[in-house]
Homo-oligomer: A and B are copies of this chain.
Amino acid sequence: MTENKHSGNLSPEFALLGFLIAGQSHGYDLHQKFTAELGHVWHLSQSQAYAILKRLETRGDISAHIVEQEKLPARQMLRITAQGRKRFFEWLELGIGTNARSIRLEFLTRLFFAQLHRPESISQIYRSQTNEIESSIVKLETLIEHLPPEQVYNRLSLDLRLQQLRLIQNWMAEIRTQFHISRI
């Protein structure tokens, strides 16, 4: 019940969708953009990118049509569908991460695309994330309190997680000033 139970740790998927909101593109280009803009947030290999795009297509979030090129290999031009657009904005405004890693990854990714496509909802996204952190800090604190004292390693692990969450609070407070996000 600790990690890995992502209601969806799937944001490279959403990031690819997010780049397609701005207009049609193809796998190679999307991967390039991704690496340039979010390469230190996530790592996404080229083949992974293609795999995800394939999945998005079979799901109906994007549509592909082949564009022949005279000299270079043909491109699969990709467009986001109405369904994909819907899924993307749902993720953008509703998704929240609760552990250090997923906050760094998911939250930053959401912030990036909110800035691009929905600047007006940034403060709402920000607030729902901070609330989430607040409440998971409380949960962790009570968990630690009630942990049998002989569970040394579990305690050390939870302690570090708690400290990491507090660190993230400070980091987010800095983001608030950097992005001029108003309180409430």
Contact = CB atoms under 8 A, between A and B. Distances in A.
A6 B168 CA distance: 24
A171 B157 CA distance: 10
B160 A171 contact: yes
A38 B3 contact: no
Interface of A: 1-5, 36-43, 100-101, 104-105, 108-109, 111-112, 143, 147, 151, 153-161, 163-164, 167-168, 171, 175
A2 B160 contact: no
A41 B171 contact: no
B43 A2 contact: yes
Nearest to A2: B43
B111 A41 contact: no
B167 A3 contact: no
A183 to B, nearest CB: 20
Contact of A3 (B42, B109, B163): B42
A160 B104 contact: yes
